[in-house]
């Protein structure tokens, strides 16, 4: 029987596959080199919330704009990514995400995490990550 391959984002408690760069709160002491490793999924989600709020400050607010920035066509099948996220959330590509609305953000981030890791994550961890992003 073949060993199960655990997606990198799951191993790293980084459901959105955030690359190294910023010194995020909740980083684990051991990093994998290319992508951040967090102590738990909620800290990885917190960082993703912070990133999406920085996008909104730059005018990047629709589902399509967010994903085109997060997963550019030079590295990803961005059109498919948008299609899957829209299918999983029920949002249209031109839907403006309210980055301070817990339900909108959790729905969007869970769908993006599905694309990034092909894994269903615990919604409560995403809600906790959103709350952390509002506190710190």
Q: What is the pTM of this model?
A: 0.95
Residue ranges of domains in the chain:
8-135
Nearest to residue 48, comparing CAs of 136, 134, 133, 135? 133
Taking alpha carbons only, the member of 97, 15, 87 closest to residue 63 is: 97
Each residue's pLDDT expressed in tens, for the chain with a length of 136 residues: 566 789 999 999 999 999 999 899 999 999 988 999 999 999 999 999 999 999 999 999 999 999 999 999 999 999 999 999 999 999 999 999 999 999 999 999 999 999 999 999 999 999 999 999 999 9
């Amino acid at each position: 029987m073949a060993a199960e391959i655990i997606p990198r984002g799951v191993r790293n408690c980084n459901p959105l596959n955030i690359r190294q760069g910023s010194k995020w709160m909740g980083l684990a002491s051991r990093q994998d080199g290319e992508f951040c490793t967090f102590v738990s999924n909620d800290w990885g989600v917190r960082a993703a919330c912070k990133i999406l709020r920085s996008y909104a400050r730059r005018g990047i607010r629709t589902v399509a704009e967010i994903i085109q920035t997060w997963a550019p066509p030079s590295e990803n099948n961005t059109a498919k990514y948008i299609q899957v996220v829209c299918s999983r959330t029920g949002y249209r590509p031109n839907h403006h995400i309210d980055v301070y609305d817990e339900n909108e953000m959790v729905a969007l981030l869970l769908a993006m995490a599905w694309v990034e890791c092909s894994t269903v994550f615990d919604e409560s961890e995403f809600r906790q990550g959103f709350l952390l992003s509002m506190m710190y």
